[in-house]
């Protein structure tokens, strides 16, 4: 593994015990740099290798829809690990407490974790650092180019980030070594009773699970293969038409780390699809996605008004008192009770299926700005709804998608108009000129 993928969070005192990978964002066995790194260390030290996952029941407003998807994926993680001779343990409670306790009770020698730029995981890491005295590493297993290597600062836009990523891609976008059957066994005790766990889980059950997408790393790989074979070659043509199913639908898998974005990039590049489609797909998958991590990593207020660029805050402030033709509150928006049939349809699609079309997400968030009292309220409502209903919510892409739509992040100033000021506007008429709004609205109505 390229050593720049890992960084030391704590030097600690070396012990002889097992190496443990605390899995959080990258919930898969294959193509996982954090696990590959942990195994390399364990092999060198001739020690056992284990993976722990620490389950919290109040993660950023997630409901059974997201927990169900995640837990079904983790069942597979446990099975695949056991075939590789790697132990698995599921811990319950605050990771800042239960991970150090596990390390202590099992005399762990080295701790490895995966990387997330979000505040929650960073504060968990800090707590773990305070409570353990052993070498503790963080590995960026999520991005093709490790976030701290891609750029040393917050980037203005895709145009400033793209050349940096392109320069580094040949160094990082290489095939993965395969995980070996681990030669030093470790029995951590009980197997997880997944059915009981799911029954007992104290999470919001009012947002139900969905069945159009199968969770887990096996299903993720099959979805990738299907997309590459059947849709990638027309991605450039179809991806922005919500009445078609032209996107990959990989975002839930990528969010939970059930597939590696690097694996997706490697397979897309090997596909010999039409050049324009391949380039458009890699732009979203690598440049835009990793730009979101860059934003959240260098801007800890990523989900606040303060994170918007100066020009956008200034223009939104000037237009604060502009009259709003329509004003809706959270409940009216949540129940899709607006005057706009297209907006209502995308909101319903998200509530029912747990995934809104990418093109419509921009329209959806911009209309929330237009129909609420302030940009702060719009941002709060958009994040709340996104995180509550989307399978891929609670992700840097979500915070940045909302900040792009409402606060001009990574965008530029446009012609000034009411409410939006110089933030880019999107209209119903514009959508109508791009695709058949009628057939899209009808399709959503048929979902129930
Ligand atoms: P594809 O078009 O098949 O793209 C492949 C992958 O590229 C995606 O899985 C994703 O990882 C990445 N990608 C695609 N578009 C973007 C983008 N605009 N920015 C960053 N990465 C991108 N994405 C999330 O993963 N989670 C969210 O919560 C989320 N919320 C959003 C909210 C708003 C208001 C907006 C405007 C965008 C949001 N996005 C979010 C980004 C984007 O809309 C989704 O990633 C995409 O629609 C997912 O569908 P797909 O996997 O079929 O995409
Ligand atoms: N990661 C965890 O380590 N433990 C959890 O209990 C957990 C729940 C969870 C629920 C919904 C969701 O969308 C993600 C969830 N994650 C969980 C993963 C989380 O995205 C990553 O851990 C991030 O790295 C945290 O910033």
Question: For 267-285, how does the pLDDT look when each residue is reduced to its tens digit (9 = 90+)?
Answer: 999 998 889 999 999 999 9
Is residue 139 lining ligand 2, measured as CB closer than 6 Å? no
Expressed in angstroms and rounded, the spacing between residue 387 Cα and the centre of ligand 1 is 13
**What pLDDT, on the 0 to 100 scale, is given for residue 219?**
98
Q: Which of 293, 358, 365 to probe ligand 1 with, by most ligand atoms within 8 A of CB?
A: 358
Position 447 scores a pLDDT of 82
* pLDDT tens profile 371-404: 999 999 999 999 999 999 999 999 999 999 999 9
Contact 132, 282 (CB under 8 A): no
* Shortest-distance atom of ligand 1 to CA 402: 34
Pick from 144, 204, 153: which is nearest to 174 by CA?
Answer: 144
Residue located nearest, by CA, to atom 15 of ligand 2: 59
Task: Tell which wins on pLDDT, 190 or 35.
Answer: 35
- Model confidence at 332: pLDDT above 80: yes
pLDDT at 178: 93
Q: Domains in the chain, please, with CATH? A: 3-142 (3.40.50.620), 198-298 (1.25.40.80), 305-445 (1.10.579.10)
- What tens digit of pLDDT does each residue of 167-216 get? 999 999 999 999 999 999 998 777 899 999 999 999 999 999 999 999 99
Q: Confidence class of residue 82 from pLDDT cuts 50, 70 and 90?
A: very high
pLDDT of 244: 85
Q: For the residues 32-45, what does the mean pLDDT come to?
A: 98
117-146 pLDDT, tens digit per residue, is 999 999 999 999 999 999 999 999 999 999
* pLDDT at position 118: 98
Residue 128 contacts residue 94 (beta carbons within 8 Å): no
User: Would you state the pLDDT for residue 284?
Assistant: 98
Asked whether 205 and 402 are in contact (CB, 8 A), the reply is no
Instruction: Examine the pLDDT at 59 and tell me if it is beyond 90.
Output: no
* Statement: residue 448 has pLDDT above 80: no
Per the prediction, the chain carries an average pLDDT of 96
Would the CB of 25 count as within 6 Å of ligand 2? yes
189 vs 426 pLDDT, higher one: 426
Ligand 2 atom closest to 57 (CA): 6
pLDDT of residue 1: 92
pLDDT at 444 over 90: no
Once rounded to an integer, what is the mean pLDDT over residues 80-91? 96
pLDDT at 121: 97
Tell me which residue of 331, 417, 321, 318 sits closest to 366, measured CA to CA: 417
CA of 392 to the centre of ligand 1 (A): 8
Where does the pLDDT of residue 151 fall: very low under 50, low under 70, confident under 90, or very high at 90 and above? Answer: very high
Nearest CA to ligand 1 atom 23: 397
* Span 422-433, average pLDDT: 96
State yes or no: pLDDT of 14 exceeds 90. Answer: no
Among 246, 247, 251, 295, the mutation site with the greatest number of ligand 1 atoms within 8 A of its Cβ is 251
What pLDDT, on a 0 to 100 scale, did the predictor assign at position 36? Answer: 98
The whole-number pLDDT of residue 340 equals 97
- 249-269 pLDDT, tens digit per residue, is 999 999 999 999 999 999 999
Confidence (pLDDT) at 331: 98
């Amino acid at each position: 593994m390229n050593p720049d993928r890992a960084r030391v969070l704590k030097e600690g005192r070396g012990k002889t015990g097992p190496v443990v990978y605390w899995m959080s964002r990258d919930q898969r066995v294959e193509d996982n740099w954090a696990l590959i790194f942990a195994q390399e260390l364990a092999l060198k030290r001739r020690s056992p290798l284990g993976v722990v996952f620490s389950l919290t029941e109040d993660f950023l407003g997630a409901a059974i829809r997201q927990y169900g998807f995640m837990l079904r994926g983790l069942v597979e993680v446990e099975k695949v690990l056991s075939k590789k001779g790697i132990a698995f343990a599921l811990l319950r409670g605050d990771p800042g407490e239960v991970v150090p306790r596990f390390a202590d009770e099992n005399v762990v020698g080295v701790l490895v974790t995966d990387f997330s730029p979000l505040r929650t995981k960073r504060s968990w890491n800090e707590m773990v650092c305070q409570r353990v005295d052993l070498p503790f590493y963080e590995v960026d297993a999520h991005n093709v180019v490790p976030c701290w290597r891609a750029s040393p600062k917050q980037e203005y836009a895709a145009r400033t980030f793209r050349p940096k990523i392109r320069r580094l891609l040949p160094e990082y976008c290489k095939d993965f070594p395969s995980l070996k059957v681990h030669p030093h066994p470790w029995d951590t005790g009980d197997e997880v009773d997944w059915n009981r766990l799911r029954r007992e889980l104290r999470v919001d059950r009012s947002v139900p699970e969905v069945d159009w997408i199968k969770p887990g790393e096996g299903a993720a790989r099959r979805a990738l293969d299907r997309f590459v074979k059947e849709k990638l070659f027309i991605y450039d043509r179809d991806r922005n038409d919500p009445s078609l199913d032209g996107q990959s639908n990989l975002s839930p898998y990528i969010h939970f780390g059930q597939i590696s974005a690097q694996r997706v990039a490697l397979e897309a590049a090997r596909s010999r699809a039409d050049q324009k489609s391949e380039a458009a797909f890699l732009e979203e998958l690598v440049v835009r996605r990793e730009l979101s991590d860059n934003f959240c990593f260098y801007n800890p207020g990523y989900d606040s008004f303060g994170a918007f660029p100066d020009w956008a805050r200034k223009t939104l402030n000037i237009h604060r008192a502009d009259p709003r033709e329509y004003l809706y509150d959270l409940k009216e928006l949540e129940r899709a009770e607006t005057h706009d049939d297209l907006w209502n349809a995308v909101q319903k699609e998200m509530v029912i299926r747990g995934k809104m079309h990418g093109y419509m997400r921009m329209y959806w968030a911009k209309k929330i700005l237009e129909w609420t009292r302030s940009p702060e309220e719009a941002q709060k409502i958009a994040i709340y709804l996104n995180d509550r209903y989307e399978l891929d919510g609670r992700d840097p892409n979500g915070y940045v998608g909302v900040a792009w739509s409402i606060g001009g992040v990574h965008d530029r100033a446009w012609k000034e108009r009411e409410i939006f000021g110089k933030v880019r506007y999107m209209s119903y008429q514009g959508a109508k000129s791009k695709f058949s709004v009628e057939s899209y609205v009808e399709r959503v109505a048929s979902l129930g």
